[in-house]
């Protein structure tokens, strides 16, 4: 009899306290392999914005609000007849206290105390960009593989950080597969630690699917489908035809803004750890030792591979 378990939980990441190690899973069930089909080493990041250089727009003051070409960003300065004018914020500052009131969301400059004359307004504005990230070491080793990442932010720095994090993770083969732990409570969407020395794996993976199989007079069989975390279906194109079609559209359409190119370097992820050596406290019982002495090896036998687990032996 099979049991299908559905869990509904808020969007986010939860960490399972269990760390699966040697001896905690059915031997031979750890089918975890590195998949190189979804390598990404040339990444287009869409969603970021950059701030322009100061832009000057000529204006003529009258009784009606003055439309602006762009939504203004700091710094903003208004000059009428060669003289600087005071500037307030509409719906925040009281009328009659500034020469002009600025409405950035509606792109309007509203005359207040100053109702005539001509001059200019100088301000900065945001414009959309596409960020191109490349990882040369991965390209040289595996070839060039491109992808598109849509970020839900207009902040260029944040978009760049998300792109670098994504590129750093997927410029190498991605670990995924399945494993059958003996016991535990698992939920789809959780992050779980996998530490299997025999396979040389020490990482965290996301639980994609959990299956519980129950057979009379036998323990419940648990099967976990695992994949690398932060690999969302909504933002990653796994099908090569879709990937190439979207890349062609992204590359040749210029209505989304100019391209800023960055070369991802491994040095940005490096760090330096410094330790302080604490000298031992000398006492009467303190003894010195010599580390140059020879070592003596003692041989001992290990159990065979077929000894555990057997059909009737459980942990």
For the chain, domain boundaries? 2-48+129-266, 53-124
d(CA 19, CA 21): 6
With bands split at pLDDT 50, 70 and 90, how would you rate the model's confidence at 296? very low
Please state whether beta strands 42-51 and 146-150 pair in parallel, antiparallel, or not at all (unpaired).
parallel
> Tens digit of pLDDT for each residue in 212-259?
888 787 888 889 988 877 544 333 334 444 544 555 455 445 455 666
Say what the pTM is: 0.46
Burial class (CB in 10 A: 0-12, 13-18, 19+), 46: middle
pLDDT, position 293 = 46
User: When comparing pLDDT for 1 and 180, which is higher?
Assistant: 180
> Tens digit of pLDDT for each residue in 104-120?
989 999 999 998 999 99
pLDDT higher than threshold 90 for residue 56: yes
CA proximity to 69, closest of 88, 52, 83, 94: 52
pLDDT, position 188 = 86
């Amino acid at each position: 009899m099979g049991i299908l378990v559905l869990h509904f939980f808020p969007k986010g990441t939860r960490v399972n306290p269990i760390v699966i190690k040697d001896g905690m899973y059915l031997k031979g069930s750890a089918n975890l392999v590195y998949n190189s089909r979804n390598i990404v080493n040339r990444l287009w990041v869409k969603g970021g914005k950059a701030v322009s250089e100061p832009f000057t727009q000529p204006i003529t003051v009258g009784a009606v609000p003055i439309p602006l070409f762009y939504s203004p960003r700091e710094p903003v300065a208004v000059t009428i007849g060669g003289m600087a004018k005071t500037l307030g914020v509409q719906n925040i500052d009281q009328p009659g206290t500034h020469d002009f009131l600025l409405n950035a969301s509606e792109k309007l400059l509203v005359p207040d105390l100053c109702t005539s004359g001509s001059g200019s307004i100088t301000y900065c504005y945001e414009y959309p960009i596409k960020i191109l990230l490349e990882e040369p070491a991965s390209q040289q080793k595996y070839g060039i593989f491109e992808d598109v990442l849509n970020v839900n932010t207009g902040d260029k720095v944040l978009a760049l950080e998300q792109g670098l994090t994504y590129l750093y993770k997927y410029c190498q083969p991605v670990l995924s597969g399945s494993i059958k732990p003996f016991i535990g409570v698992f939920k789809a969407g959780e992050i779980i630690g996998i530490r299997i020395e025999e396979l040389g794996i020490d990482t965290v993976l996301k639980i994609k699917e959990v299956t519980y199989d129950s057979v009379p007079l036998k323990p419940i069989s648990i099967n976990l489908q695992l994949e690398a975390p932060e690999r969302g279906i909504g933002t990653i194109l796994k099908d090569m035809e879709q990937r190439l079609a979207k890349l062609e559209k992204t590359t040749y359409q210029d209505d989304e803004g100019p391209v800023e190119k960055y070369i991802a370097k491994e040095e940005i992820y490096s760090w330096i750890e410094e330790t302080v050596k604490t000298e031992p406290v000398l006492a009467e019982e303190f003894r010195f030792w010599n580390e140059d002495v020879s070592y003596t090896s003692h041989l001992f036998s290990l159990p065979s591979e077929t000894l555990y687990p057997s059909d009737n032996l459980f942990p």
